[in-house]
A and B are shown apart, each in its own frame.
Chain A
């Protein structure tokens, strides 16, 4: 190590707090990026692993209509056409206690060519030989296999008998054995059983969910032949493509999380800049001496950057470890949101991926070097003399301020241009938000400078010279205070932006729920259909004036997987569905009779559909084009929802099942009494999920709030970094001005007065940051609502502003700055004037 570098490292080691703050800034930024990436990647990888395990060696899948595929077709394929490498599957969900599990019904005899795990079993309940496994799976009532970890979760041992709930009915089950450990990857929360058992549980007698097919890629003839054999409502899809399209449903959600983690890094960059630039400023005399001794500008530049590299390296390593830990904590939140909205995924541990670590390391290094570049260039510009007046440095900073502001205005204009030109791209929308934040941040030093100049005389009039000293000090030490204000303003503006967006979003969802949920009581069953006889009995109750019914089915279409909601609406309940681009009276008049569809707003946005377009769906009679009559308002996030009347559905699909019904009660009926009556009627037949209108609304909003917990955590991390930033800036300022404070103490200023002065300065920085954060936050909220959410999910959210959000953001900025200023104030107040003056 060169003597030059040693001299600098020695300096850093003698200033451990400064080193620690630099490490903390980069470290938190890296940790957040790594954590989000790990949580997202782990959830996605686990889903893919699970899909891969379940698909096994299948290259294709035969998917039927809503009622599935007739099992006779499987027999025909195997027996008449002699097709090998195919296996029937019945899929659905059941619950054991509180745990919801995926059930995979298989034909053990057809499995070998496609899946390993279903016939490789570790712990077996019967006499230990695998040869009995198939026989037992076929003959023992309710026999199931599952992974050892799932058995642990359910507290079951091979041989145990237990009860499960499917379609609201109770069934006995028997754990036959657990999958071999090495073949059970991705199979958590899944139980495998014989196909007949699954059909019984899921009320699909004689029907299959799909047929898995293993085709030789070198045999296109079989593929073509198979396509010719398919019934009208059955499609042949690539297994990998289907997995991918399901996984992509959550892409927008994950991109938004990444954007939040980038914001944390952006705030971290300010912190690093602050720490590095302060360490350079502190070494002015040393650098002056080095320059006087013949060290070149290039060497000084290299020296500062080398030091930043070492800090970046250390912090990145710490950040990577912290990120892995944080990733584990966030994983549960991410998977819960994915489970709430997109698809079922069970993740037990974070999968550390080299690409994630490399991304975090690159971000940490990049951010550190970027943040160090400006101070390093400044240091390299020092003339070879022993001291440089502080005022000269501040003059340089003051000269830079208008240039920065001009650059900032340019960046904000560029953000506007990116939004206008990119139209639909989510990535471009996020880039525009970052440009907007950067642009506004560059204007803040000018705002600080002007405000300080305006407020200082006013402060003098109100509080005296010491108040003027506090206010004027902000503008006069812009190289320090400017950066601190920027860091805090960016973090608080993110709070304003996100909280106004969430508030508007929540309000829109609440209004939508209020309008959509028209029935008084909703009832359904988990993973299955309601028994028709039960529906009839319930509809016949005196207190029930009318009922509506609903059925949700997934269809594989040329536009990917989409969900169809089949509705039989109660008279007068049409108003619950808000139509956005067509005359409601005209649409509802023909809704039952004509073959028309309504498409949800997010689906219409993604698929670029509008009223008058046509959408092709695979019906029982083959593919058919349906007219899109209108787009309706919806805040659901799944792949895409299409509304169809029960009458239209019955004309084109062979599926009489009903998932849930809504009860419209007569006036003066007591919902509580009706609920008890419904429980009595269904008791012993089907376990119903009965919820009032209000309960569904409350539960929906709970899920909504749960989704934004991650956003909250990321926001608090960003704010934490900003508080550390302002703390380090104030402490740096205090150290730099130690002699000035010494003079004030020598002149007779008491420690309390000095502390008050610094606190006033901190509070003023906080107030300026808060005031600057409000317009930025509001613009950010507008962009989040109109650009980011629109592009990510296709929602139209009504902008709604609550004054308390702005006031609390302002209070937050003030509090953060005051907290950050406490220690520097205390430290300055207890400094001994003699010591400060002796350092002269």
Chain B
């Protein structure tokens, strides 16, 4: 199921606006960028700068108003909702700040769900779940419910779930925002090692400089525009 493409993400003149009362607010303003397959890129910016919106567009959760967006070889602009859903299911993995594990499913089932949606046979899915839980250090917690885990453990389950179907692109939105320093470090190291093992492209939205330093490069999102950031440049407040 692994997908590899020379240019994992290609954005051209991407625009996204939201209505706020009577007026329209342009969150993304003619953004263009290329991210190579297997590359890890941090998207930096203030709160409300549009980082999550950009991730939602790349992840096919949302659709752009204008511009072109090509992810894992698929042109997403103008793609119908059902196609976007199927694309997301096969090629994208998500990690959120609030973990977003399903509270009524145990850890194993949270991971198994995505595999099942992708039609993976039960036996293979079980093996994959075990493999991933071992990789994130939670082999003995398969039957625990999410609220029985610590924040760091929940995020590790979320990473396992995000990578379960070997996506082409892993999108992480402030993945350590709800974690203490130690847990954050563990999660970041885990993200990096798993990404390197699988060759997955990683896009992280963050305003943490430390997280930026984990990535191959960083882009700053400011007033709807995307610009490259030098490795020494401090993050926006």
Give residues in A with beta carbon < 8 Å to B: 389-391, 460, 464-466, 468-469, 472-473, 475-477, 739-740, 743-751, 753, 832-834, 837-838, 840
Contact = CB atoms under 8 A, between A and B. Distances in A.
Contact of B62 (A391, A739, A747, A832): A832
A747 B81 contact: no
B56 interface: yes
A465 B113 contact: yes
Given A466-B113, A466-B116, A834-B62, A749 B105 contact: no
Given A739-B100, A840-B96, A748 B90 contact: yes
Given A465-B116, A472-B104, A747 B89 contact: yes
A834 B61 contact: yes
Interface string B109-124: 1001110111000000
B103 interface: yes
Contact of B85 (A475, A740, A750): A750
Contacts of B94: 743, 746-747
Interface in B85-104: 85-86, 88-90, 94, 96-98, 100, 102-104
Contacts of B98: 840
Contacts of A464: 116
Nearest to B164: A747
B59 interface: yes
B82 interface: yes
Contact of B59 (A389, A475, A477, A746): A746
B52 interface: yes
B109 A747 contact: no
A577 to B, nearest CB: 64
Interface residues of B, number: 30
Among A389, A464, A473: residue with most chain B CB under 10 A: A464
B147 interface: yes
Given A464-B116, A834-B61, A834-B62, A748 B86 contact: yes
A837 B116 contact: no
Nearest to A832: B62
B113 A747 contact: yes
A748 B102 contact: no
A748 B114 contact: yes
Most buried by A among B52, B113, B116: B113
A743 B61 CA distance: 10
A771 to B, nearest CB: 22
11 contacts: A465-B112, A465-B116, A468-B105, A469-B102, A469-B104, A475-B104, A476-B104, A747-B88, A749-B85, A832-B62, A840-B96
B85 A748 contact: yes
A750 B52 CA distance: 22
B102 A744 contact: yes
A425 B227 CA distance: 85
A748 B61 contact: no
Contacts of B116: 464-466
A804 to B, nearest CB: 36
B147 A837 contact: no
Contacts of A472: 104-105
B61 A747 contact: no
A840 B98 CA distance: 8
Contacts of B114: 747-748
Given A473-B104, A476-B104, A743-B102, A748 B118 contact: yes
A391 B89 CA distance: 28
Nearest to A754: B85
A748 B113 CA distance: 10
A465 B109 contact: yes
Contacts of B105: 465, 468-469, 472
Contacts of A748: 85-86, 88-90, 114, 117-118
A746 B104 contact: no
A17 B93 CA distance: 36
Given A743-B100, A833-B62, 11 more contacts: A469-B105, A747-B94, A748-B85, A748-B90, A748-B118, A749-B117, A751-B85, A753-B117, A834-B61, A834-B62, A840-B100
A389 B102 contact: no
Contacts of B113: 465-466, 469, 744, 747
A829 to B, nearest CB: 11
Most buried by B among A464, A747, A751, A838: A747
User: Looking at B102, B104, B105, which has the most chain A CB atoms within 10 Å of its CB?
Assistant: B104
A670 B135 CA distance: 93
B104 A751 contact: no
Q: Lowest 5 CB-CB distances: which A-B pairs, in order?
A: A748-B89, A834-B62, A476-B104, A391-B147, A472-B104
A751 B89 CA distance: 13
Contacts of A751: 81-82, 85
Contacts of B104: 469, 472-473, 475-477
A329 B89 CA distance: 57
Contacts of A476: 103-104
Nearest to B114: A747
A477 B113 CA distance: 20
B102 A740 contact: yes
Contacts of A837: 52, 56, 61, 96
B170 to A, nearest CB: 13
A448 to B, nearest CB: 14
Given A390-B103, A469-B105, A747 B117 contact: yes
Interface string B49-78: 000100010010110000000000000000
Contacts of A389: 147
A465 B56 CA distance: 25
A746 B171 CA distance: 11
Nearest to B94: A746
Interface in B165-187: none
B20 to A, nearest CB: 12
Nearest to B122: A464
Nearest to B88: A748
B82 A468 contact: no
A84 B81 CA distance: 96
Nearest to A748: B89
Nearest to A749: B117
Contacts of A750: 82, 85-86
A744 B117 CA distance: 10
